[in-house]
Chain A
Amino acid sequence: DARVTQTPRDKVTEMGQEVTMRCQPILGHNTVFWYRQTMMQGLELLAYFRNRAPLDDSGMPKDRFSAEMPDATLATLKIQPSEPRDSAVYFCASARGSGQPQHFGDGTRLSIL
């Protein structure tokens, strides 16, 4: 079965450091999503891309977060500088199109000390 691949699985770093999370969407999927899961907020959408173009990043704190798709096989989510409140599990998902179910990766568990 094709899967969305996320790296790293776990990341622990100190406040103020830059964090980069990577996602390889399923081949042929043209829509990529970034979600954050916390105990308080549940699963919330941060940003999504279609055909590598950003469509909606209204859920993302713009001052420190940035999301890009350098090519069709790689999506990145960066936090600079990181803060303890950014600690969460970050999921990437991809879909074949806007009306298709999203397939999730296993997430990056981020801890900012």
Chain B
Amino acid sequence: DQQVKQNSPSLSVQEGRISILNCDYTNSMFDYFLWYKKYPAEGPTFLISISSIKDKNEDGRFTVFLNKSAKHLSLHIVPSQPGDSAVYFCAAKRNQGGKLIFGQGTELSVKP
């Protein structure tokens, strides 16, 4: 039972354009969502998070949008840079617990 789903295994974007990575979840008890970025041979690195009391959180070039009614969140990167090329994981949890449920990841390739 995949509670957090990233349906696109890969995404290719031109440098300077917007990258949009999507994530869907099924458990309505999730109330805290995170995005992690992972380079090969390294561990995932925390990127940005959002609580369910918000619908948007912005940090520099990265913005996460949350649509609770659709159980959907997205990560926008603008403008995209070649250094953004990595695997992006969406994760969700219930605020009172520490257990993160991860999606399968989307591999982003930003081409110069």
Contacts and interface: CB of A to CB of B under 8 A. Distances in A.
Interface of A: 4, 31, 33, 42-45, 48, 50, 55-56, 91, 93, 95, 98-99, 101-107
Interface stretch (B19-27, B37-45, B65-73): B37-45
Interface residues of B, number: 22
B92 to A, nearest CB: 12
Chain B residues touching A, majority SS: loop
A4 B101 CA distance: 20
Interface of B: 32, 34, 36, 41-46, 49, 89, 95-105
Contacts of B104: 42
A98 B43 contact: no
Given A99-B32, A101-B49, A107 B102 contact: no
A104 B34 CA distance: 14
Given A48-B98, A55-B98, A43 B34 contact: no
